[in-house]
Amino acid sequence: MKVALVHDWLTGNRGGEKVLLELVRLFPAAPIFTLFHFPGALPEEIERRDIRTSPLQRLVSKGRDYRKLLPLFLPAAETWDLAGFDLVLSSSHCVAKNARKGPVAIHVCYCHTPVRYLHDQLDEYLREKGPLTRFAARAVRAPLRAWDVSTVPRVDAFLANSENVRERIARLYGRPSTVVAPPADTDFYTPSEGAERVRSGLLVVSALAPYKRIDDAVRVANAADLPLTIAGFGPEEGRLRSLARGKVRFAGTPRDEELRELYRTAEAVLMPGEEDFGIVPVEAQACGTPVIALGRGGARETVVDGVTGVLYDQAGPEGLRAAIDRFRTVRFNSAALRENALRFSRDRFRSNLLKSLRSALVEGGRRDLADAIPSDEG
């Protein structure tokens, strides 16, 4: 069985790339098709694979906001040559699901989200943009959204990363999907051994993008003189740095071991924006660290309010500040945090994914391919 993996772009190691890493391990001979790739940004297991980029590779570079090229993403996705593959497995939050399969191939899409900025989260992306940018974005939105929806029939079966995304796939694309929650490396992200570490300060681990609402955390930390560490990169970094005062510090993109240490020593991890799923809260809980999150989207599936963290309803600095105050009144049990995180282990992801792939292939009339899917034992 010839398998092709398709992923939107390879520019950093976030939740989508952690899913891709597991797909690479399951299908080690499969090439990866992507719009563009910044070498050195991914785990070595991905970097050493056969990575095939689109013509956009010549137009992008680190340090520039490649999202401004969004109108070019859709036509660029048409250039992937997937002829000759039996199974196309896309990992998509933008255009990977648009991949054109061969005539007898099966396309299964692991959907992290329908494109946020084309459907129901555009306003979050434009919160701090000027009037001309807002006007231009809204002008191109309708045709790009129509194009996005028109490519849905290219997918034979959808897998959703959460109940939240399953509902959005049904509402926006009119298609059913099977939920397969993403993997957290709960063998690596663990509480400190021995005596409980002294915890201090709040932590944000995130892409620095507008819809993440990291500025809410910065404003609260500024106003209350709270220590806050921000780990991540993205187009909002300059603006966030200009807002930050006092005890707010930026940690860049930490190595895995450094990130684990940040989790282990933080009082709490903050998630002020709505996430489709959100792997960071799971990694934090695996390290015994509670989460303070906006109670929308994936957070409602990963954080148990009052047990493994605090959820709040009102987006913005005021709601976050009230949630932090409430957090100070709750006692958390590290074992309960860890137990909740184990629901999203890599082993569970692998088992659920393989089962769902086999079902999709059988339903697509390709039992021969279903029989070639590796066993849970790998």
As to burial, measured by CB atoms within 10 angstroms (0-12 exposed, 13-18 middle, 19+ buried), residue 97 is buried
Q: Which residues of 289-302 are buried (b: 16+ CB within 10 A; e: fewer)?
A: bbbbbbbebbbbbb
Query: How does the average pLDDT of the chain come out, rounded?
Result: 92
Has residue 197 been placed in a domain? Answer: no
Q: Count of domains in the chain?
A: 2
Q: Which residues of 211-242 are buried (b: 16+ CB within 10 A; e: fewer)?
A: bbbbbbbbbbbbeeebebbbbbbbbbbeebee
Stated length of the chain: 378
Cα gap 161→297, rounded to integer Å: 11
Report residue 80 as tokens: 């992937």
| Mean pLDDT in residue range 162-174 | 96
Has residue 378 been placed in a domain? Answer: no
- Residue 230, Cα to own-chain centre: how many angstroms? 17
Has residue 218 been placed in a domain? Answer: yes
Has residue 14 been placed in a domain? Answer: yes
pTM exceeds 0.75, yes or no: yes
Could you tell me if 129 and 269 lie in one domain? no
Could you tell me if 269 and 360 lie in one domain? no
Compute the CA torsion angle 21, 336, 165, 368 (nearest 10 deg). 50
Report whether pLDDT(162) > 50. yes
| Each residue's pLDDT tens digit, 11-64 | 988 889 999 999 999 999 999 999 999 999 899 999 999 999 999 999 988 767
Cα gap 360→194, rounded to integer Å: 45
Has residue 193 been placed in a domain? Answer: no
- What pLDDT shows up at residue 41? 85
- What pLDDT shows up at residue 69? 86
> Predicted confidence band at 376 (pLDDT cuts at 50, 70, 90)?
low
Of 248 and 124, the structure prediction assigns the larger pLDDT to: 248
- For residue 265, the enclosing domain spans 202-343
**N-terminal to C-terminal alpha carbon distance within the chain:** 16
Report residue 244 as tokens: 């930050």
Could you tell me if 213 and 336 lie in one domain? yes
**Angle CA 348–280–42, to nearest 5:** 85
Could you tell me if 12 and 22 lie in one domain? yes
| Each residue's pLDDT tens digit, 182-191 | 999 999 999 9
Could you tell me if 227 and 354 lie in one domain? no
- What pLDDT shows up at residue 134? 57
- What pLDDT shows up at residue 123? 54
Q: Which contiguous run of DSSP H or E holds residue 76?
A: helix 70-77
CATH for 339:
3.40.50.2000
Could you tell me if 19 and 153 lie in one domain? yes
Has residue 305 been placed in a domain? Answer: yes
Of 374 and 113, the structure prediction assigns the larger pLDDT to: 113
* Whole-number percent of the chain with pLDDT over 70: 93
Could you tell me if 321 and 250 lie in one domain? yes
- Our separate counts of H helices and E strands in the chain read 15, 13
Has residue 189 been placed in a domain? Answer: no
Cα gap 173→163, rounded to integer Å: 15
Has residue 167 been placed in a domain? Answer: yes
Q: 94 in helix, strand or coil? A: coil
Could you tell me if 9 and 113 lie in one domain? yes
Q: 378 in helix, strand or coil? A: coil
Could you tell me if 336 and 350 lie in one domain? no
Q: 224 in helix, strand or coil? A: helix
CATH for 33:
3.40.50
- Residue 108, Cα to own-chain centre: how many angstroms? 18
For 350, list phi and psi in degrees, rounded to 5: -60, -45
